[in-house]
Amino acid sequence: MARLVTLTRTPLPGDPTMEFTALEDATFDVLLTLKGPAPHQGQVRTHTEYSGGNCTRSIINPIEVVDDDGSEVLNPFSDIWILFVGGKEPYELSNLGDSLPINLFNPSDLHFLLSGGPPHTGPNKSLERTHDE
């Protein structure tokens, strides 16, 4: 879990207003590490070449939000994110990954993540809850 502390957006050729494309460089202060080692100096950096069709996630517009009628509504921005990253910095935010602003997570998913997940007994490595018999 991390808080966005800096965001720099740079226009790509052909879209000076950055409506559809942009380079996004961000720094997050890590608040909580759920898996793996804590990052060096407590920060994570991302570098993403955002474009509507290249499977990357924009920090400003992370997902398309629609109302019950199918009309697009303003994206609910949050500076607190749950980041799933791997490899080397700077990381890329991808639509194929699970990184999202915290306010876009389902409350039960948040509870699951922050509680350490379901209790496991035996060799079960799935996300299904296991029971002691």
* Residue 42 backbone dihedrals phi, psi, to 5 degrees: 70, 20
Divide the 133 residues of the chain into consecutive groups of 10 and give the mean pLDDT of each group. Answer: 93 88 92 84 91 76 69 72 89 83 79 64 40 40
pLDDT of residue 2: 93
pLDDT of residue 120: 42
Q: What are the residue ranges of helices labelled H in the chain?
A: 107-114
Chain centre to alpha carbon of residue 121: 30
Going by C-beta distance under 8 Å and a sequence separation of 6 or more, which residues neighbour residue 133?
Answer: none
Q: Which among 78, 86, 83 has a CA at the least distance from the CA of 113?
A: 83
pLDDT of residue 121: 40
pTM higher than the cut 0.75:
no
Whether a cis peptide bond, with omega within 30° of 0, leads into 90 is yes
Going by C-beta distance under 8 Å and a sequence separation of 6 or more, which residues neighbour residue 36?
Answer: none
pLDDT of residue 39: 85
pLDDT of residue 115: 75
